Amino acid sequence: MSPLRITRIYLRMLGTHLRGSLEYEWDFWLMVFAAVLTQLVSVVFLRVVFTLIPDLDGWTFWPIVIMFGLISFGEGIGSLFFEGMWRLAYRINQGELDYMLVRPYPLALQVTSAEIGLNGLGNITSGGAMIVLGLCRAPIHWSPGLVLVAPLLFVSAMTIKVSISVTTNAASFWIQGPNPLFAMAVHQGGELTRYPLTLFPIALRSVFCLVVPFAFVGFFPAEFVTGGHALWIGLATPAVAAYCVLVARFAFRRGVLRYESTGS
C-alpha cells in the first residue's frame, strides 16, 4: 500500500467518528474547557514561580513557555489524530480486535484512528499559542538555518510523543485490564519533563533521555531553538524519532502475537 493511500484511508476512518463525537456537544466543549484549564493552571504556576525567582536554572519565562507549548501541542496532535491508542487496553480486554486483524490495513493505524479526540483542538490552540508567543518574545538568534531546522525538530518531537504513546499502550497486550494504566503512568511521568531537565538528578535525566525519551519532546528542541548550551543534542531529535518509531512498531507487533481474543 502506498503511503498516500494509507494516509487517505486513515483520514477517512478518523472522519467516521467525527459525526459521533460532534453529537455530544456538551462533552466536546467540556473537554476543550478542561484542556484549556489545565494549560491555564500551568501558566499560572509558571507566572508565580517567576515572580518569586528571576530564572529557573538558567531558564527564563518565555523559553519555558515554548517548552510547555511544545508538549501541549504534541498532546493535542496525539489526541486529535491518534486518540484510539488509549482504548487499546479496553479493546484487547473485550476481544474487539478480531475484525481489525482480518482487514488489509495496518492494525496499529486501525487502532489509533478508531477515536478522534476533538479536545485535542484545545491543546493544539493553546500549545500553538504558547509556542508562537514564546518564539516572538524569547531572545532567539534567528538564522536561515534555524528557520529550516526548527520545524523539523518540532515534527520529530511530535513523532516521539506519539511513538511513546504507542509503545506504552502496547504494554496492554501483556498487562490485563480494561485501562491502559502502564501507559497512563508513563504519561504522567512525562509530565515532569515540562520542567527544565537540568533540575532533576542525573538518574532521572538519563531515564528521560535514554529510556523514555520525553526529553526530546520538549526540552532539547526548545534548548536548541532558544540557543541553549546542549546544542548538538537537539539536532539528534530526528534520529531519536526514527528510533522511537521502530521501537513502537516492534513492540506492537510482538504484542499482537500475544492477543488472545475472548470466547472459545
Q: Spell out the SS3 assignment of 247-263.
A: HHHHHHHHHHHCCCCCC
Query: Interface mask (CB under 8 A) for another protein, residues 170-209, using x and -?
Result: -----x-x-x-xx-xx--xx-xx--x---xxx--x-----
3-class SS of residue 175: coil
- SS3 category, 28: helix
Interface map 82-121 toward another protein (x if CB under 8 A): --------------xxxx-xxxxx-x-----------x--
Report, in Å, the least distance between residue 69 CB and another protein: 17
**Is position 7 an interface residue for another protein (rule: CB under 8 A)?**
no
Q: Please, are residues 57 and 119 in contact by the beta-carbon 8 Å criterion?
A: no
Which residues within the stretch 34-53 sit at the binding site for another protein (CB under 8 A)?
34-35, 37-38, 40-41, 44-45, 48-49, 52-53
Phi, psi of 215 (to 5 degrees): -60, -25
What minimum distance in Å lies between the beta carbon of 152 and another protein? 29
- 3-class DSSP state for residue 59? strand
Q: Choose which of 26, 143, 147, 202 interacts with another protein (CB under 8 A).
A: 26
Number of residues that bind another protein (CB under 8 A): 64
Which of these, 153, 159, 151, lies nearest to 244 by C-alpha position?
Answer: 159
Question: Rounded distance, CA 229 to CA 206, Å?
Answer: 17
Comparing CB distances to another protein, the nearer of 140 and 207 is 207
Cα 186 from chain centre: 12
Q: Decide: 46 and 143 in contact? Cβ < 8 Å.
A: no
**Residues near another protein, by CB under 8 A:** 1, 9, 12-13, 16-17, 19-20, 23-24, 26-27, 30-31, 33-35, 37-38, 40-41, 44-45, 48-49, 52-53, 56-57, 96-99, 101-105, 107, 119, 175, 177, 179, 181-182, 184-185, 188-189, 191-192, 195, 199-201, 204, 256-261, 263-264
